Amino acid sequence: MDIAERSDWVELYGLRIPVLRRVDNGAELDWPFEAEQVVSFLQAAAK
């Protein structure tokens, strides 16, 4: 999503982007992250 048009999103996400957000539970993983962290973040849904 492009946050540039929403000042509230710029304030919330501006220093954290890119941010991965899970649609199933709303969990977010902020930058910086490593590949292993992304895998763990995504695998949490399988548990």
pTM (2 decimals)? 0.75
Instruction: Give kind and range of the element (H or E) at residue 8.
Output: helix 7-13
pLDDT of residue 1: 84
Look at residue 45 in the predicted model and tell me its pLDDT.
Answer: 66
CATH assignment of 7-44, given 3.10.350.10, 3.40.30.10, 3.40.630.40, 3.90.1170.50?
A: 3.40.30.10
Task: Say whether 36 sits in a helix, a strand or coil.
Answer: helix
Please, which residues have CB within 8 angstroms of residue 27's CB and are 6 or more apart in sequence? 21, 41, 44
Q: Do 19 and 31 meet the contact criterion of CB atoms below 8 Å apart?
A: yes
What 8-state DSSP symbol labels residue 21?
Answer: E
Q: What is the mean pLDDT of each run of 10 residues along the chain (47 residues)?
A: 92 92 93 96 78
Domain limits of the chain? 7-44
pLDDT at 47: 55
Per-residue pLDDT, 22: 93
